[in-house]
Structure 1
């Protein structure tokens, strides 16, 4: 089984990512600050790491080299809400294997992990198709985040009535909507 360490200061996002990726064959652990991340990486010895670029008190870029020294074979994906070409180049130069902008849907993250897993010989990750309702919900959430929570603008971009969008937003995805 592949072991995944999620280094993310947003506890709810880390929990959601862990839950989703566990369903796809990963044993997940989460760490919420830079100071504990190296210790947890040493103890857990993950095969994969998802690292947030902007941690509360530090920058995830500064963790790439120490993590790479500690775990030379680890496959590392850097997540950021502040994507730019300069930070992408810097992350790859420092040793990250992949770089993704937030918000990232589960399938995109899974594909990034699968590409690096197949390159390292860990191709036992199970890819399960998303339920269409779940796929719609994740797409709506991504467009909403891109519009800074503006429901009216999101509805316009999605080509639906604002009230219809509000009803869809009230529905939380269930476990069977993976």
Structure 2
């Protein structure tokens, strides 16, 4: 049996992404486990005790932010990188506060994920943007923050933002606005 550091759990509801990432990481010598939902992920974590994991922020029926503490309760030393196509400052901060070691925007390849998993400290030389974010990006960030405050509840978030629920749902279906 391999050690926990070579056992990697991929938690993502995108089956094609899981297939591609799983193949790439298996070729790099990892024992790869794949879960497409929270219940299966927790079951695999209990059974196999992975040392590392990738966790999609937006799972079909749950949030990666809600799953993260549960996963770390089962495997406290697991190094988790949160992946998302819906990045925001608010969710990045929450992911790190909840125990993720890093946060990456999709698309991310196997090498980027392994680099993120291997980083032990922050990078003081990280590039700082020359311009402030656009007003559309600020609006996206604010919606994500309020959504997080309401535990992903669309109706409660829409009420808090003073907008119709369907309008909020349409905004959330769009890709995040570029900076």
Provide TM-score, normalisation by structure 2: 0.63
Counterpart-to-counterpart distance in 2, 1:29 and 1:74: 14
User: Could you say which residue in structure 1 is the equivalent of 2:16?
Assistant: 12
1:52 corresponds to 2:56 = yes
1:93 corresponds to 2:97 = yes
Deviation, 1:35, is 1.8
Deviation, 1:112, is 1.1
Alignment deviations for residues 44-87 of structure 1 (CA, whole Å, 9 cap, x no partner): 11010100010001111101111111111111010001001110
User: Could you say which residue in structure 1 is the equivalent of 2:7?
Assistant: 3
Counterpart-to-counterpart distance in 2, 1:31 and 1:90: 22
Counterpart-to-counterpart distance in 2, 1:24 and 1:3: 12
Aligned residues of 2:52 and 2:79 also touching (Cα < 8 A): yes
User: Could you say which residue in structure 1 is the equivalent of 2:44?
Assistant: 40
1:75 corresponds to 2:79 = yes
Runs of 4+ in 1 over 4 A off after TM superposition: none
Provide TM-score, normalisation by structure 1: 0.63
Deviation, 1:113, is 2.1
Counterpart-to-counterpart distance in 1, 2:112 and 2:52: 15
Taking only aligned residues, the RMSD between alpha carbons, in angstroms, comes to 1.5
Counterpart-to-counterpart distance in 1, 2:76 and 2:111: 26
Residue 84 (structure 1) aligned to one of 74, 84, 88:
88
Deviation, 1:109, is 1.1
Gaps of 5+ in 1: 120-147, 149-178
Gaps of 5+ in 2: 122-174
